[in-house]
Chain A
Amino acid sequence: GDSVTQKQGQVTLSEDDFLFINCTYSTTTYPTLFWYVQYPGQGPQLLLKVTTANNKGISRGFEATYDKGTTSFHLQKASVQESDSAVYFCALVPGTGGYKVVFGSGTRLLVSP
């Protein structure tokens, strides 16, 4: 079945450090891929969306590239701020036109000033 893997449970950085969060996926379709960010006590909000048509998303300084060859969809940011501290979820929607969404286990980012 369709799946998403985030191996990093937590990433701890200092302000201005480079961020890299790993996400790999498995599907037999051409999926749409998302990064959502969740702040404490809130619902997730969309950070990035990438499809097979555009391959790359950039938002609020974050960047993710969809690599079909390695089935990866990593999240990067050149310089993190304390306000970026949150949980980041990678999510996959299979390219079958349905309504199911598969989320990764999430990566908690802690940024110290």
Chain B
Amino acid sequence: AQTIHQWPVAEIKAVGSPLSLGCTIKGKSSPNLYWYWQATGGTLQQLFYSITVGQVESVVQLNLSASRPKDDQFILSTEKLLLSHSGFYLCAWSLDWGGAGAEQFFGPGTRLTVL
């Protein structure tokens, strides 16, 4: 069975500090991977997607970057946090067919608070 793990579960960080969030998918080879941001009580905003190792596409510009160093790992980072980065960060995967038209499986998320 496939499992998706996100770390850390929650973070409290200062404005201007760096950030690194991680996501690992086990039990599925070559998945499509996605990062989403969700403000409290808000919608899901797709940030990045990756269809293969080393390739990441940006969907919106929020002073964040993403990398896929391994087939099963997706990293979200920034060198300098803003207050507006606070929210819930979700990693998701989908099967490698039909683009994003396949069902997406979401991880448990990371709650980020920037003070």
Contacts and interface: CB of A to CB of B under 8 A. Distances in A.
Contacts of A49: 103
28 contacts: A41-B109, A42-B108, A42-B109, A43-B109, A44-B44, A45-B105, A45-B106, A46-B104, A51-B101, A89-B44, A91-B44, A97-B99, A97-B101, A98-B99, A98-B100, A99-B34, A99-B49, A99-B51, A99-B99, A100-B49, A101-B34, A101-B100, A101-B104, A103-B44, A105-B42, A105-B43, A106-B42, A106-B43
Interface residues of B, number: 24
Shortest beta-carbon contacts, A-B, top 3: A43-B106, A32-B101, A103-B44
Nearest to B98: A97
Interface of B: 32, 34, 42-46, 49, 51, 57, 59, 90, 92, 98-101, 103-109
Interface string A30-70: 00101000000111111001010000000000000000000
Interface residues of A, number: 25
